[in-house]
Amino acid sequence: MRNFLTCVGLMALSTAPAMAEILDLEKDELTFGFIKLTDMAPLAVAYEQGYFLDEGLFVTLEAQANWKVLLDGVIDGQLDGAHMLAGQPLAATIGYGTEAHIITPFSMDLNGNGITVSNEIWEAMRPHVPSMDDGRPQHPISAASLAPVVEAYRAEGKPFNMGMVFPVSTHNYEIRYWLAAGGLEPGYYSPENVTGQIGADVLLSVTPPPQMPATMEAGTIYGYAVGEPWNQQAVAKGIGVPVITDYQLWKNNPEKVFGITAEFAEENPNTTLALTKALIRAAIWLDENDNANREEAVDILSRPEYVGADRDVIAASMTGTFEFEAGDVREIPDFNVFFRYNATYPFYSDAVWYLTQMRRWGQIAEPQTDAWYDEMARKVYRPDIYLEAARLLVDEGLASEADFPWDSDGYKAPTPAGDIIDGIAYDGRAPNAYIDSLPIGLKGEQRVVGTEIQG
């Protein structure tokens, strides 16, 4: 009987699922912050699927009121880490706004955002948008179709206001990119004027993501750039029309990151590895088997403690489709990407793109060398930590060797012109050449002085 039980035990061990090996953690009770957006999903999944617990981590997830509160919470230690705008660790590290050294060992997703306009603005834009054979609008929709509307408002002496979520948000840079690609000036920043509205045709201002639909419905703004589910919420409420997704703007563009202070990572190296392992596992779960787990993910995200929007609204973009107008549902299987295409690897070239946009619009007031862009990217984005965590997962049988870019130098291959709405390629290794190739925006030695661009 003893030999039989021993054999049974060995068989059970040989067929048991792979398990995470718990590291010698410096800190095992952690609080992470997030904003109510669908791209916080890796945090929710790591919690709900038990991946944090597998690593010996006892995690509390706390929704934050806005991005500024979230950033301050990480800097002052009330939060151990957070779902962040990719521009936040970079801006803080270079000293734009709040100064602090924040790093990211994990990129949270690709794509996931959209630009929505009110019904009134869409009605005015629609005559300028080409139609397909079935009468529906042809996508992607250029901001050139918005230009006559903005001009009409200007002729009536009315400012044209749109919203974005934070000055260093992806959404700010994406709506600026879209506007500029359509020939509209989105405005500049200067050290003396941080409104970002110097010389603007379209006045952009900050609105927290969950408040976007109501702010537009009230007429304070005529449209906005935001992450999901707040574009689909406008469709569900019948108050607006998403005109473009960021996947259509720039195919597989980088989005949120997970941010921690450099001090936290230095003092808690094993804890940093453990949380990164858990997040990688969550990202794998979200994308595996052709997004087979997305319906379950939608159930999780719709809970009030996470995103708290209606399940159908979250599912409208999370499960491979996107609804532009009521009934105009289109297939966009990569609207949300959490692991495919090395989505979780913190590429230096992603960091460099954000820095180029900061320079383009005057948030980086002075010209910088290509070497400076590379240096700043390396200070913030930490693929070394990411790959160490990935190696542990592979060795534990929890991830596949083939799924990680072990030999990467941290730079993606250049994004081809055909993948970006303005037809201008992006190469992270040549940031100044890229900046100079963009028709609208600062370039070379140019600076914003008062209300003028000089140089």
Q: Within this chain, do residues 154 and 177 fall inside the same structural domain, yes or no?
A: yes
Q: Choose the final residue of a domain: 253, 277, 311.
A: 253
Tell me the mean pLDDT per 10 residues along the chain, length 455.
38 52 96 97 98 98 96 98 98 95 98 98 98 97 98 98 96 98 98 97 95 97 97 97 97 97 98 98 98 97 96 94 95 96 98 98 98 98 98 98 98 97 98 98 96 93
Query: Which residue(s) pair with 82 in the sheet?
Result: 33, 259
For the entire predicted model, the pTM comes to 0.95
Residue at 146 is within a domain: yes
List b or e across 234-262, with b for residues whose CB sees 16 or more CB atoms inside 10 angstroms.
bbbeebbbbbbbbbbbbbbbbbbbbbbbb
197 and 291: one domain?
no
The residue range of the domain holding 150 is 113-253
pLDDT for residue 395 = 97
Instruction: For residues 368 and 230, state if they share a domain.
Output: no
Is 161 within a domain? Answer: yes
Instruction: Kindly state whether residue 417 falls inside one of the protein's structural domains.
Output: no
Placement of tokens 């996470």 in the chain: 306
Q: Does 261 share its domain with 231?
A: no
Pairing of strands 223-227, 113-118: antiparallel
Place of tokens 């995200």: 301
**Of the candidates 221, 253, 285, which is a domain's last residue?**
253
User: CA end-to-end span of the chain, whole Å?
Assistant: 88
DSSP 8-class letter at 425: -
Are residues 294 and 364 part of one domain? yes
**Domain identity same for 125 and 207:** yes
The confidence score (pLDDT) of residue 19 equals 75
> Are 162 and 85 within one domain?
no
- Residue 17 has a pLDDT of 56
Same domain? 305 vs 398 = yes
Establish if 350 belongs to a structural domain: yes
User: Are 315 and 392 found together in one domain?
Assistant: yes
Query: Is residue 359 a contact partner of residue 368, using CB atoms and an 8 Å limit?
Result: yes
Residue 340 domain-assigned? yes
Does residue 158 belong to any structural domain of this protein?
yes
Q: Clarify whether residues 81 and 126 are in a common domain.
A: no
Q: Is residue 326 part of a domain?
A: yes
Radius of gyration (Cα) for the chain, nearest Å?
22
Is residue 19 assigned to a domain? no
Domain identity same for 306 and 390: yes
Q: Which residues pair with 34 in a beta bridge?
A: 63
Identify whether residues 399 and 262 lie together within a single domain. yes
Structural domains counted in the chain: 2
pLDDT at 21: 83
Name 151's Cβ contacts closer than 8 Å, sequence gap at least 6: none
**CATH number for position 36:** 3.40.190.10
